[in-house]
Chains A and B, each alone.
Chain A
Amino acid sequence: MSISVNGQSCVPPGFRFHPTEEELLNYYLRKKVAAEEIDLDVIRDVDLNKLEPWDIQERCKIGSGPQNDWYFFSHKDKKYPTGTRTNRATAAGFWKATGRDKAIYNSLHRIGMRKTLVFYKGRAPHGQKSDWIMHEYRLDDPATDTAAATVAAAAAAADGGQEDGWVVCRVFKKKHHHKEYSGGGKNGDGGGKSAAAAAQHAYSGGSSGDDALDQILQYMGRSCKQEQEHISPPPTATASGGGRTTASRYLRPIDTVLAGHGFMKLPPLESPSAAATPAMSSSSTTPMITGDEHLLLHHRTDWAMMDRLVASHLNGHSDAAADDDQLCNFAAAGDADASLAFYSAAATRLLAGGNDDDLWSFARSAAPPPPSATS
């Protein structure tokens, strides 16, 4: 493919096609979805199932210069006969989602989501991980622009309806680049320290607002959650006995995460009486509760609800779980801030419910549950 802009035959030296995420979503993907003409045909359509990652370079070449990343549109309509998961298998391997989806924001609001996938050679579950990485970008459901106020709508946008339609993908090879930062110079910057430095950066939260600890906790909890699904029945109001043991295992992480943000303080388990004041906020949040959420509140109280809360926190990423519970998926799809917002919303909603839905009843039921908590 050759680049021709206004009769000039090439891109000026030093310039590359390396779009920002906002450009990918708001210009290219939006135009693609709207079937508008795109000035320059730099992003091609490919059938992901028929294209091996090592063929992408040739297929998606732009100009003649060296390229480190490749872009294409893909239409997600290939599904397995059962379930809603996208089939991302090729002849030689498959793309597997890793981490969890990241919300993409422009300066004003959320514009889409990014899923990170890794190519494995072979067939699941015995694939061999490769260095090929794909970022798959999808637009937010336009309906949420107006209805973004409610958690339910946001959750629907985050997970519902995402398995169909156009996505734009960036494919690149993972670099093993740790030598370049400090390269073993004379200042005692051993190259081997880079990994540690990187980890340190992750924990200091210095970059792009990611709360690394939160995300790692969340991710690590994913397998715990799956385990939990195997050993305990679906949480209901009457299943609080089974839920209590599993939930208590998670109290520590959730406590830590929340305390780290100074966001929502759980009272000490021994002092449920200290819990009266936070209910003040109920009046402002009550109107946000929809019918569905009321149902949820009234059917899942106590430890069961705490389970949901914790599980939603620990839920890894939306692609893995065919869970139809929107609350869970909301936390799965958002970034750290989004899930914190979820917590705050969930907490205030619990408080707003009053009575048995009082959040602090969780604390009380750490001791043998009082009658009101199981009613």
Chain B
Amino acid sequence: MENLLWRNSKWGSKLVAMAIACVALVWVAIPFLWAFNNSIKTEADTFRQGAVIPFLQFTPSLDAWKFVLSDPQALNCLFSSALVGVGTTLFVLILGTPAAYSLARFEFKRMKSRDITLWFLSQRVLPPVVVLTPFYILLAELGLIDTWLGLILLYSTFNLAFCVVIMRDIFRDVSKEVEEAARIEGASLWQIFWMIAVPLSLDGLIVTAFIVFAFCWNEALFASAVTSQHAATMPAFILASRSTRGVDFNQAAVNTLVAIAPPVIMSFFVQRYLARGLSFGAVKG
């Protein structure tokens, strides 16, 4: 597709735009490069000045990778992350999608659905650290400290609001006429939801699921606070990997890359939906 705006722009402005794009790219890429570079160093090399270019200035080694990937603790944390991420995503979608649909389609007598939605949104405005202590106490009383279930419940409370607000907007874009047609054809409320509204909002649903999953995958603060061994997730593991001798930078780098990989790989698959879904229906054709 030819971009007319780009083609008709002057040389100077094209150059500026390119320069900005390059800076942004480097800005984003440098931490990754740093991490990759460190992951193939030996522990000694990570502290040596002037060890920057592999093969020239230091000899690359896969020791850190081997160590981490055979560390049962690291693998356990990876599994915890995946389980908690998937579990939370499913739980949030199962609860949040019908809630979002009812807020999109029905008017309630006591409160306007817009007000209820705003209330949901307000849950996201609160700085999460404020509720850290109460949540810890609650989980402790329920005996859910350092359990997967505890984390899933915790993350669901944060992400449910997000899911409801976003999915409500997406459901509002589903043609009312199409749903009415289904009603005339004899579909019940649940049938309209399952057979019409959900399939027609699949793009948005996938994007929402991905964002919820990414949130769980990346969350470090609560994970560190309410888990210790059994249910610790990758971010908690990375934070905890400071040993008594300080930080093993090469291992930390491997951990980081391992932690980043799944969402990055997933994003390749959901990319197609991301562009459309993230505009929240603004450009739905």
Q: Do A and B belong to a common assembly?
A: no
Interface residues of B (CB under 8 A from A): none
Interface residues of A (CB under 8 A from B): none
